[in-house]
Amino acid sequence: MSETYQDLLAELAQRDPRLVVLTAENRAAIRELPARLGPRFIDVGICEQTLVGMAAGLALRGRVPVVHALASFLVLRAYEFIRTDVGVGGLPVKLVGYVPGLLSTANGPTHQAIEDVALLRTIPGMQIFCPADRAQLLAGLPAVLASPRPCYLRYCDLAPTVEHPAGLALGGAEVLAEGSEITLLSYGLLVGQAAQAQRLLAQAGLRVGLLSLPWLEPLDEAALLAVAARSALLVVIEDHFARGGLYTMLAELLLREGRSAQVLSIALDQRWFRPATLDAVLEHERLSGAHLAERVQRAWQARGALAPSAAGAASRR
């Protein structure tokens, strides 16, 4: 049983000769792979456009390229190559974005990929996998690589702090806690913080559920509609701009289905975050479990004061 991302990737590559691993000199997650994969490991240097174009060419020949670069440079610098070569071509290139969202920690806004989901979801056929931690990353990786479609993997290798149900299906959400009053919705590294908030809120007597959505494309719409139907308040928690991420997806889904829900968005609202170590960022941006619990509790209390006519409308605060 592989215990690290690179172990599993090497193991899958040994089984599937189509797999090739590429990087734009971003080796942090794959240091052992040059030795283990030999010529099936290609480092092109610091050039994300060529990285993605080359991956498309490899895929055109039947390979499944797994490309690695810092998420902001992969998605932003090479976006048109992703959209035009991989997207229009419908090629099974797997794009692994390193240190997305808050994981860029102290790097600053140049490195903050907090619009990556918004951009990639506009590409027809693109799958988006945002694991919460190493366990979800390893559980989902085989499905990512086996799919005939392109995929963006929003890399997160944190040690798990939650127990994931067995058998993660492609496109499936995970119910980490059931709750009839409030349901927290999250993906990526904030799932761990949301889980802590859920425990704190439950201890405070609220009936709070937590839905983890590692797949944003395809999105588990049935799971979202189910929690929307049974929760008085939905809270979307994401380390992404408020525009274009899960909050937007949920709003689109509810509108399309003619459903309404009260929704609180906890995200980065039209600004980049203050660079710092991860714990300090979580604290400063009020995204730690304790801060999330407090913000949700305040929204829950404010909800009681809302006029009935407004209670069904989506609300940001």
Q: Is 317 exposed, middle or buried (0-12, 13-18, 19+ CB in 10 A)?
A: exposed
65 binds another protein per the rule CB under 8 A = yes
Can you state the angle between helices 221-230 and 246-256, rounded to 10 degrees?
Answer: 80
Contact 71, 112 (CB under 8 A): no
**Between 43 and 181, CB nearer to another protein:** 43
Q: Which stretch binds another protein (CB under 8 A): 26-34, 51-59, 131-139, 155-163?
A: 51-59
Q: Which residues between 85 and 124 bind another protein (CB under 8 A)?
A: 85, 88-89
User: How many residues sit in the footprint of another protein (CB under 8 A)?
Assistant: 28
Q: Facing residues of 21 across strands?
A: 41, 66
Residue of the chain from 10, 44, 224, 268 that contacts another protein (CB under 8 A):
44
**Between 62 and 308, CB nearer to another protein:** 62
**Between 52 and 224, CB nearer to another protein:** 52
58 binds another protein per the rule CB under 8 A = yes
Q: Which stretch binds another protein (CB under 8 A): 38-46, 231-239, 241-249, 307-315?
A: 38-46
Q: Which residues between 165 and 224 bind another protein (CB under 8 A)?
A: none
The rounded distance, in Å, linking the Cα atoms of 127 and 286 is: 30
The rounded distance, in Å, linking the Cα atoms of 78 and 87 is: 12
Residue of the chain from 1, 3, 31, 61 that contacts another protein (CB under 8 A):
61
**What's the CA angle centered on 193, arms 191 and 198, to 5 degrees?**
90
**Between 34 and 89, CB nearer to another protein:** 89
Q: How many CA atoms lie within 13 A of 74 on its CB side?
A: 33
The nearest distance, CB 91 to another protein, in angstroms, is 10
Cα distances (angstroms) measured from residue 233 to each of 194, 224, 302, 313? 15, 12, 11, 11
* Per-residue contact string for residues 3-22; x = within reach of another protein by CB under 8 A: -----------------x--
According to DSSP, the β-strands at 182-186 and 208-212 are parallel
**Residues binding another protein (CB under 8 A):** 20, 39-40, 42, 44-45, 47, 49-50, 52-63, 65, 80-81, 84-85, 88-89
